Amino acid sequence: MAGRLTGKRALVMGAGSSGPGWGNGKATAVLFAREGAKVVCADVNGAAAQETAAIIEGEGGAAVAETCDVTDSDQVAGVVSRMVERWGGIDILHNNVGIAKMGGPVELSEDDWHRVMDVNLTGVFLACKHVLPHMLEAGRGAIVNVSSIAGFRYVGYPYASYYASKGGLNQLTVGLALQYAAQGIRANVVMPGLMDTPLIRTQIAGQYADIDAMIRERDAKSPTGKMGDAWDVAHAALFLASDEAKYINGVCLPVDGGHHMKVG
């Protein structure tokens, strides 16, 4: 039986994982492949990208690993060029790269502000810049960006640069959706809430006395009493990337157990 992405060629930026387990990008790359897509797994950590590609190949899918810093335009262009040369085009672009630095304007260094903006927002801009000409030539394409409910809600922690970058990503995506809709290209956003992924252990855990306390606090903040996981994000991304969502464009979809509905 054909999968939901059979015949599609997908570029997943951030397809590795920041630690052991399933990150959002890793789960999405594997799920795309399970649904029939050929997947380029790109990540700044080449070993992590290779690990994801190896999982896909071990399951009988088609995957290529690429090492890529999304803030480097030449590296992004190279990944795109090689993918088009290898498989003839790009049907799906999935941007799942993001970092978080704690602090408001007083506490946060200017270097950290610029770094978060470069990775979280400029990286998506560069991927779109180099992929869109190929989608325009084909007359079709789906872009799925991973943002956060922090893009439009305060989530209880002082992350000025993260809030700004994710809010910018949401609106960048809306602009892309409307600019290219008539050319057969869709752009949507998945906005995770509090998720239990390796990222929180590598970038957030140091702000807590211990990891177990962090997990308990984050679980308690979720209306469901438990955080979501990478597969929740991956399944949302799969739907938005698939032809089932052919008339869905410019949507910012919360995947958060209802967290964005809370006041306080």
In the structure encoding, which two tokens stand for residue 250, read together? 């410019």
| Euclidean distance between CA atoms 191 and 254, whole angstroms | 5
Q: Taking a C-beta distance cutoff of 8 angstroms, is the pair 146, 237 a contact? A: yes
Residue 184 φ/ψ, nearest 5 degrees: 85, 15
Q: Active-site residue among 154, 157, 159, 162?
A: 162
H or E element: which one contains 48?
helix 46-58
Q: Taking a C-beta distance cutoff of 8 angstroms, is the pair 13, 94 a contact? A: yes
| Euclidean distance between CA atoms 241 and 150, whole angstroms | 22
Q: Taking a C-beta distance cutoff of 8 angstroms, is the pair 95, 142 a contact? A: no
162 is catalytic: yes
| Euclidean distance between CA atoms 195 and 234, whole angstroms | 12
The 10 Å Cβ neighbour count of residue 23 is 28
Tell me the C-alpha to C-alpha distance, in Å, between residue 48 and each of 12, 69, 144, 216, 259: 13, 13, 21, 28, 30
| Euclidean distance between CA atoms 81 and 88, whole angstroms | 10
Q: Which residues are catalytic?
A: 162
